[in-house]
């Protein structure tokens, strides 16, 4: 099982919802190769299932505080910058996608607000 964490980032208080405000403004993301592995890993470092961020099917993740990020790295999570991961999503030919995203991400699909152009245009 491989889990990943990115760098800690500062988020303005206005962008943090509900009870999470009491944990500060510095957060990172935890994701894994599959959703099942993500939940298993998150549970192992003390994350509650209710903290799961499943609203975006392309990036299933948990938000972690600094302290929980330390726990994740100690438990075997690998560092991967979010920028590198997004590049992998956008360019599946250059870098293999984690298995969890392969079925959900089609780089040739028309994205909302975008049109596909062909050489006949």
Please give the chain's pLDDT, 121 residues, in tens. Answer: 789 999 998 877 777 777 677 777 888 999 998 899 999 999 999 999 999 998 877 789 999 999 999 999 999 999 999 888 888 777 754 545 555 554 444 444 433 433 333 434 3
Can you list the alpha helix ranges (DSSP code H) found in 1-121? 35-44, 66-74, 82-90, 99-102
Tell me the pTM. Answer: 0.69
Strand partners, 28: 64
């Amino acid at each position: 099982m491989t889990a990943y964490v990115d760098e800690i980032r500062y988020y303005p208080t206005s962008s943090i919802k509900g009870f999470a405000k009491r944990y500060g403004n510095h957060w990172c993301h935890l994701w894994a190769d599959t959703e099942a592995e993500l939940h298993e890993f998150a549970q192992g470092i003390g994350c509650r299932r209710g903290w799961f961020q499943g609203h975006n099917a392309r990036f299933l993740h948990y938000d972690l505080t600094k302290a929980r990020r330390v726990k994740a790295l100690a438990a075997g999570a690998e560092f991967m910058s979010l920028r590198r991961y997004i590049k992998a999503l956008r360019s599946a030919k250059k870098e293999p996608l984690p298995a969890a995203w392969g079925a959900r991400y089609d780089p040739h699909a028309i994205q909302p607000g975008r049109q596909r152009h062909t050489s006949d245009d």
